[in-house]
Structure formats: structure tokens, C-alpha cells
A and B are shown apart, each in its own frame.
Chain A
């Protein structure tokens, strides 16, 4: 593995800022392992990735990441890991593709002390506009699929997600809202559910 730090997306940069050095991290839907590789290099973390896609699995192995192939359904992570095995369980842009996001959220907070979750906001004004004025399911840069072939089977808005957290006794420790270029603007701070495209949440169980 090379010692040079790879360039990472602003979303990953924001996540990195929330990670404590030398911590144990599980990355669900770790893709090619870029985030974990970055965290190993910059934060000296240890941990594992989980990924279903065979090609991304191969990429992650190539990157030197410990990666477990799994579809994240059926409480897979609880079968593999004991309670509080990790300081952080990360899941970037994958909550909306799993069969039961609510159950997965429980599992994440069972095996990890804190979770970091990012997902696209279905409450963004462009989504609302497409549905309201065109009468069609929205297609945007962040969500470029048709309604019939999208892997995003459980889309939600920031408000929906926060309601779910509230009902489950999950505390939002940090929140960041960015646009598709992963930048943050003043408008997003005032009306995040209308103007924010991607949300980053750090959550934990209420003590």
C-alpha cells in the first residue's frame, strides 16, 4: 500500500472529521474501500468493510482492505459482530437500498457505539418540484435512476429519518447537509430538508 494519501470526496472528508483516531470502524457498503483506506492512513483506524458487489469486493481486496461479502440484510452484521465491537459503524449512501433500513439502523447501533450515515434527501425542492409539477417520480444527479430500475427502494427525507431516530430513541449527535457537489450553503442551514441534497448524520443510542 502506498504511503501517499489518496484524494477523497468532500463527503468522505466530512466523515473523516467525525472519526476519532485509532478507533475501530466498520464500513457497510464499503465499495472499493477508499474511505477505509483513507481512514487507515490518516486516522490509524482498524476495522472491516462489508460489500455485496463482487467487482467492488475485488477492488477492496486489492486496496488491502479486510472486506466481508454480505448483503447487509437478515441481521448479517449481528451474526458476524458482537455488541459494541466498533467505535463507529459507517454507511454511506446505502441506507435507502437495504430491505429494512430501520432494522439495519438497530443492528448498526448494536455492534457500534456510534453510527455515521449518509443518504440522499428525497425532500429536496427538485424532487418535490418534479413530483408536484411533472407528476413523475424524480430523476436527478444524486438519484439518476428510473422508478422501475432504481436500487433505492427506501428513499426518505431528512425529516423522515429524524422521525425514525426519535421513535427509536436514537440521538442525532451531529448533522451536516450538503449539495450534490458536497458543499454547504447558508440556505441549507436554514431549510435543510428543502435545500440539502445529501445528509450526513452521526447518531447514537440515547443514554
Chain B
């Protein structure tokens, strides 16, 4: 059997150290599901943690038992920009997720019932603290790099701020230092769509043996729309019709309508994403604002970070535009941090961070090469300037 087609196997870590959450709640114990690829080297200096985006999970690379490729399989694997022949790559499903880590679909040990809406609100910092337990379990003193796009990029920043000595390189892609009013507004509309679905049952839909499919599909349609660019939708769909001529009714007429409905439907039914998890993830995004506790000064917030940074944005991304990445770069420059920044030309909007692109891949590969080169010359720790 070809090595590269080995089926990926998720593992589950049971954590018994209570997690004191930012919201004030405590999780007495919890589980994190994760996958790993490649081999951890003798001094554990080649570990990379991938942080996933809103609807992502731990299956980032390779092909699972169902034949499903990982969500970033194009960039992670043997010979790929994040080369699993050289690096030990780890990815876990965030706490509050619905793909195997403890979340709203898990059983609440206090009641013996599904958590549902009772699952405590999670924040980026809680994710970082929970992943830090995974780091200890894997015997990794310092991550060679943390890599994440979108929400994952924010998590990478939080890691670099909260555990500076544990992060050697931080790769922050298509992210922002905090959500704008417009970003929060989109999340709120998505949440309203879910919560006003009659099948939502105040979040106790699992007990009611149903799911708020319509609301979840609407939320996903809206989200998906913000991940695409106007140009890209124009070139992909234009005003193309499904039938030959206009029908003058409210059925699906334009191809773009059909596409969006399909995306929403797929997310809510086939992928069976949990509506409470969607609510939690969007809230965590809204709350993310590492500068808040530093007089709203991002420069001060990032002053503690000692990691070297690579920041990447995409020209047509209006969800987290290049200007938002400039804010991150500026704050790092204010701190004289080691930072490189690439603004990749792409018409694919926010989604570009998951798609093939020559410049993007080149930057990624070059930076990973640099991390590897550093490992050869000064193993284990880098200068902490």
C-alpha cells in the first residue's frame, strides 16, 4: 500500500485538569479529538499545530476512513508546503466543536443529558488553554510553528500572546486583530437565523429529536456569501439561469441561488454540523479582541509575543481584508518583532486561504523551509529577543 494513502486515525485525549474558562464557568473534565501526521523528532522541535476555522475540524490532512480528504490536504502532507516528512503536524477539534471534542453534543456529566445550549461559552483563550494540555500530553515543549487561517489565525495570535515561550513561529493567515461591527453583524444575522428556526427548541433540539436545519442552512448561506468575492461570483455564476428563461416566481432561477442553497443544505444535513456549535464559534469570534485588556492597544497586546510571524492576506478578501492584516503587521513592527507579510493576489475572497495559489504556496513553502533551516542551525530554542 502506498504510504501517502494511509488512512488517518483520530485520537482522543481525556483531560482531567479542570478548565477555568474566561466566561467564569469551569469544565471539570473534557476531551479533545486530534490527528497527527509525520513523526515527532528526538528533541520534539519539529511540531506544528494547525488551528482550524469556524466550521473546520481536526481532520486537516490525509484521507480518513470514509475516504474524505482533510480540509487543508493541499498544503499539508509529504512534499507539500507543510511537509510531513519533516514536521510533526497536529490538529485538534476546538472545544465546543461537534466533531469529537467536548461540546454541545456531548453528555453533560452533571445531568447525564446532552449539553445543548448549556455548554459554557468558549473563547479563543479557552481554546488555547485546552490545546496547551494537548501540547503537554504530546511532550512538546515549544511548537516549531502555529499555523491558522481565519478564526484559526486569531487562535494563533492568542497562543503567541498567552504562551510566548511555547511558540517559535506564528503563521497568521486571512485573519484580523478583532471583528469589525460588520463582521459581528453578519454573525448576529447567522445566529438569529438559527435561533428563530421553530426546530431550534431553545437549543434543546437534540432532546426534541430534531435539528434547526433551515436556520443552520441560512446561517451557512450567509457565511458562505461573505467568504466569496463579488468578482469571483460574477465570473462563476454571473446572471446565469437554471432554466432557459425567467419564470417570474420565487423558485430557484439564478444559478447563484441554487449554489447557495446547495451549500446551506449540505452543511445542515449532509455534514450534520451542530447548530449550538455554530452559535458558540461565532460568539468566540465576536469576543476575540486581545488588545482589549491592553488599553485597546494591539501593540501592547503583542509586546509579550516572542514568536516570529508570517502574516498573509488575500486581495479580494473583504471578510478579513488586507487592511486588517496591516493592523497586525503594524503592531508587530512597533514591537520590532520578526515579521514578514505577503498580500496574495486572488479573486477567491476569504476562501482563498484554502485554495491553490502559486504565490501563496511559494510564500508558505519558503517560510516553512526557513523554520526547517533554523532547526538545523539552532535546535530547540531560538533567541528570545
A90 within 8 Å of B (CB atoms): no
Residues of B within 8 A of A1 (CB): 373, 377
B266 within 8 Å of A (CB atoms): no
Number of interface residues of A (CB under 8 A): 22
Q: Mark B362-382, 1 if CB is under 8 A from A, else 0.
A: 110111011001000100000
Q: Separation in Å of the A76 CB from the closest CB of chain B?
A: 9
Residues of A within 8 A of B367 (CB): 61
Interface positions of B from 336 to 364, Cβ below 8 Å from A: 336, 338-345, 359, 362-363
Q: Separation in Å of the A5 CB from the closest CB of chain B?
A: 16
Which single member of A54, A55, A62 contacts B370 (CB below 8 Å)?
A62
Main secondary structure, interface of A, reads mixed
Which single member of A54, A62, A79 contacts B330 (CB below 8 Å)?
A79
Residues of A within 8 A of B370 (CB): 61-62, 64
**With contact pairs A67-B340, A79-B330 given, residues A58 and B359 touching in the complex (Cβ less than 8 Å):** yes
**With contact pairs A55-B362, A57-B363, A80-B329 given, residues A66 and B340 touching in the complex (Cβ less than 8 Å):** yes
User: Nearest residue in A to B345 (C-beta to C-beta)?
Assistant: A54
Contact A58 B363 (CB under 8 A): yes
Residues of A within 8 A of B340 (CB): 60-61, 65-68
Contact B373 A68 (CB under 8 A): no
User: Nearest residue in B to A62 (C-beta to C-beta)?
Assistant: B366
Residues of B within 8 A of A57 (CB): 342, 359, 363
Interface positions of A from 75 to 89, Cβ below 8 Å from B: 79-82
Residues of A within 8 A of B329 (CB): 68, 80
**With contact pairs A62-B366, A67-B340 given, residues A80 and B359 touching in the complex (Cβ less than 8 Å):** no
**With contact pairs A58-B363, A61-B363, A61-B367 given, residues A66 and B330 touching in the complex (Cβ less than 8 Å):** no
Contact A66 B339 (CB under 8 A): yes
Q: Separation in Å of the B329 CB from the closest CB of chain A?
A: 6
Which single member of A64, A69, A70, A81 contacts B373 (CB below 8 Å)?
A64
Which single member of B338, B359, B365, B369 contacts A66 (CB below 8 Å)?
B338
Residues of B within 8 A of A69 (CB): 341-343
B326 within 8 Å of A (CB atoms): yes
Residues of B within 8 A of A55 (CB): 362
User: Nearest residue in A to B343 (C-beta to C-beta)?
Assistant: A69
User: Nearest residue in B to A55 (C-beta to C-beta)?
Assistant: B362
Contact B366 A58 (CB under 8 A): yes
CA distance A1 to B370 in the complex (A): 9
CA distance A59 to B340 in the complex (A): 12
Residues of B within 8 A of A59 (CB): 366
A125 within 8 Å of B (CB atoms): no
| Interface size classification for chain B | 20 to 34
Residues of A within 8 A of B333 (CB): 48, 68, 80-81
Contact B338 A54 (CB under 8 A): no
Q: Separation in Å of the B382 CB from the closest CB of chain A?
A: 12
CA distance A64 to B330 in the complex (A): 20
B334 within 8 Å of A (CB atoms): yes
Q: Mark B204-226, 1 if CB is under 8 A from A, else 0.
A: 00000000000000000000000
User: Nearest residue in A to B326 (C-beta to C-beta)?
Assistant: A79
**With contact pairs A62-B369, A82-B334 given, residues A68 and B363 touching in the complex (Cβ less than 8 Å):** no
Residues of A within 8 A of B342 (CB): 54, 57, 61, 69
Q: Separation in Å of the A68 CB from the closest CB of chain B?
A: 5
CA distance A67 to B326 in the complex (A): 13
CA distance A80 to B325 in the complex (A): 12
Residues of B within 8 A of A54 (CB): 342, 344-345, 359, 362-363
Contact A58 B339 (CB under 8 A): no
Q: Separation in Å of the B13 CB from the closest CB of chain A?
A: 34
CA distance A69 to B370 in the complex (A): 18
Residues of B within 8 A of A81 (CB): 333
Interface positions of A from 1 to 34, Cβ below 8 Å from B: 1
Contact A80 B330 (CB under 8 A): yes
Interface positions of B from 287 to 343, Cβ below 8 Å from A: 310, 326, 329-330, 333-334, 336, 338-343
CA distance A81 to B329 in the complex (A): 10
Contact B341 A61 (CB under 8 A): no
Residues of A within 8 A of B343 (CB): 69-70
Residues of A within 8 A of B336 (CB): 46
Residues of A within 8 A of B344 (CB): 54
A and B contact pairs by CB, cutoff 8 A, 26 listed:
A1-B377, A46-B336, A48-B333, A54-B359, A54-B362, A54-B363, A57-B342, A57-B359, A57-B363, A58-B365, A58-B366, A59-B366, A61-B310, A66-B338, A66-B340, A68-B333, A68-B339, A69-B341, A69-B342, A70-B343, A79-B326, A80-B326, A80-B329, A80-B330, A81-B333, A82-B334
Query: Besides A1-B373, A65-B340, A68-B341, 5 other CB < 8 A contacts?
Result: A55-B362, A64-B373, A66-B339, A69-B342, A80-B333
Question: What is the interface of chain A, defined by CB distance below 8 A to chain B?
Answer: 1, 46, 48, 54-55, 57-62, 64-70, 79-82
7 closest Cβ contacts across the A-B interface? A61-B366, A58-B362, A54-B359, A62-B366, A68-B341, A58-B366, A69-B343
